[in-house]
Amino acid sequence: MATEGRGRRVALALGAGGARGLAHIGVIEVLEERGYQVAAVAGSSMGALIGGIHAAGQLAAYRDWVETLQRNDVLRLLDLTLGAPGLIRGERVIATLKELVGEHRIEALSIPFVAVATDLATQREVWFQHGPLFDAIRASIAIPMVFTPHVVNGRELVDGGLLAPLPLAATRAFHCDAVIAVDLSARGERPVPPPPAPLPEAEMFDDEPERRTSGWRQRVAAWFGVAAAPETGATASASAAGGGLSGLLDLMSRSMDTMQSQMTRLHLAQDPPDLVIRIPRESASFYEFWRARELRELGRRIAAEALDAWPG
């Protein structure tokens, strides 16, 4: 029989996992439909982004926007950079989210919220419980080598998933009836995505000066399963454009998944929540944000199954 919330107050620990974090949207939807009150949220990386937007009361607006994105739309959000400690500056996507969600301070949100990042100098977790919401989100999503680190109060901060891929400890400051964790690193079967369609480079990059460095940008495009047209006008295949870089991104993705999966198991053993909702790590690569609708529906289905089986 389905477990009904009947107004029970729950704290959510939303895990890291890149695009798989879009499943968090479906989980939150099902919890609220079942009558649970999401009374507090702690998030790492994509969990911080979804959790912070939900705490700001703008999750439906974000859902409607992100589900319109195609591969080329995702690429246009990437402000690629050379000579910086990361491939993407992140300013363009954060500016887009600010326009969509609005500016907020964490301490003024309607739902208590904690975003977890990692301080590279001290090698410790940083918990954002006050200050600008998007400073916290930008720090928490700064995947090393992908996004440049975010500097806050002189501290160089990167992805919270490095130390806390499932931020259970941060939920213990909240006084709720139950803690529900959403783990994005569970084992399962991955759906086979459709093959990518070619996309002219001129459609991918709107900024002419940056587009002149086309060789490496074609390779970056191939990382995301999009074939960019070379300067000769011919269409290159994604595999040819990507070369060894495609394998490099895949290796980095699988390495992060391996690390976060192991750390998540340790955190769950040391500090078990009342319920774990497990999203398979094979369900999407961390950059596949154009699969938002599919991943939200996956989150809905798995959350419903977990709640049905939960005696709590």
> In angstroms, rounded to a whole number, what is the distance separating the alpha carbons of residues 114 and 44?
9
**CA 27 to CA 302: how far, in whole Å?**
8
CA separation, residue 1 to residues 4, 29, 215 (Å): 9, 19, 57
Annotated active-site residue 283? The verdict is no
Among the options 44, 135, 140, 159, which is catalytic? 159
Structure tokens, 180 = 């529900």
Residue 237 bears catalytic tag:
no
The residue annotated as part of the active site, out of 45, 185, 246, 253, is 45
DSSP per residue, the chain = -----TT-EEEEEEPP-GGGGGHHHHHHHHHHHTT-EEEEEEEETHHHHHHHHHHTT-HHHHHHHHTT--HHHHHHT--B-SSSSSSB--HHHHHHHHHHH---BGGGSSS-EEEEEEETTTTEEEEE-SSBHHHHHHHHT--TTTBPPEEETTEEEEEGGGT-SS-HHHHTTS--SEEEEEEEEE--PPPPPPPPPP--HHHH---HHHHTSHHHHHHHHHHTT-PPPPTTSPPPPHHHHHTHHHHHHHHHHHHHHHHHHHHHHHHHHHS--SEEEEEEGGG--TT-GGGHHHHHHHHHHHHHHHHHH---
Tell me which residue of 51, 17, 33, 67 sits closest to 294, measured CA to CA: 67
- Residues forming the active site: 45, 159
